[in-house]
């Protein structure tokens, strides 16, 4: 996989500059997309019923810049949404991204943020269909994802579970919690001593 080219230095931090940087990381074409970014709405091509989920990812509520680097932030903001689709038996197709950007954000940070998010989007074969940008006092990330059930009638709702059903978990229970505790206590220095636990918190695999 060829890495996306870095965004050139921008003399003016503008919406056009941000969109140009974003376009270097996220392609427009996708089988589920009839019309992508650039209009008031995207136009989706839906075969099966769409499964939709949204999440907020807020600075100092869901993550801290003290130990989340920009790539981690981009990865996890999308990963938590992809996990919601997977939990319902859905295959991800695309997403929208809304950003509230404080004054400290610059093009270098955004380039790395988009890089981390685009790597996961490419792995999951997801398209970025649109979103919005605004100024904000703290970093505010809102992602909405959609996908389709892996097979007709295959949507797994919580209300469909019954006594006696088998439940399955993936990975090591509590590992991300250990990573959070170590990162809160030691900052990014914790990565050296507890790499698996920190990775489970910083870059979870959907």
Closest of 103, 43, 51 to residue 81, by C-alpha: 51
* Mean pLDDT of all residues belonging to the chain: 89
Please write the tens of the pLDDT for every residue from 117-134: 999 999 999 999 999 999
Predicted pLDDT of residue 40: 79
Separation of alpha carbons 181 and 190, rounded Å: 10
| pTM listed for this prediction | 0.87
CB 57 within 8 A of CB 20: no
Residue 6 pLDDT level (bands cut at 50, 70, 90): low
Q: Bridge-partner residues for 144, per DSSP?
A: 54, 96
Arithmetic mean of pLDDT, 25-44? 85
Predicted pLDDT of residue 126: 96
Predicted pLDDT of residue 135: 92
Instruction: Assess whether pLDDT exceeds 80 at residue 13.
Output: no
- Ranges in the chain annotated CATH 3.30.1330.10: 15-37+48-151
Q: Which residues contact 40 (CB under 8 A, 6 or more apart)?
A: none
* Residue 126 token pair: 């997801």
Is CATH 3.30.1330.10 what the domain over 15-37+48-151 is classified as, yes or no? yes
Separation of alpha carbons 106 and 201, rounded Å: 25
């Amino acid at each position: 996989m060829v890495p996306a080219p870095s965004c050139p230095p921008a003399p003016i931090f503008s919406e056009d500059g941000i969109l140009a940087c974003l376009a270097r990381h996220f392609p427009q074409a996708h089988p589920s997309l009839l019309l992508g970014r650039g209009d008031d709405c995207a136009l989706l091509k839906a075969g099966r019923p769409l499964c939709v989920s949204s999440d907020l990812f807020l600075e100092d509520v869901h993550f801290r810049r003290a130990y989340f680097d920009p790539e981690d932030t981009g990865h996890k903001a999308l990963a938590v949404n992809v996990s919601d689709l997977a939990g319902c038996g859905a295959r991800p197709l695309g997403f929208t991204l809304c950003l509230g950007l404080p004054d400290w954000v610059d093009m270098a940070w955004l380039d790395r943020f988009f890089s981390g998010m685009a790597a996961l989007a490419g792995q999951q074969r997801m398209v970025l269909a649109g979103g919005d940008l605004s100024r904000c006092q703290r970093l505010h990330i809102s992602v909405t994802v959609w996908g389709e059930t892996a097979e007709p009638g295959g949507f797994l709702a919580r209300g469909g579970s019954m006594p006696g059903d088998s439940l399955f978990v993936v990975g090591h229970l509590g590992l991300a919690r250990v990573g959070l505790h170590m990162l809160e206590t030691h900052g990014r220095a914790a990565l050296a001593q507890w790499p698996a636990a920190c990775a489970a918190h910083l870059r979870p695999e959907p």
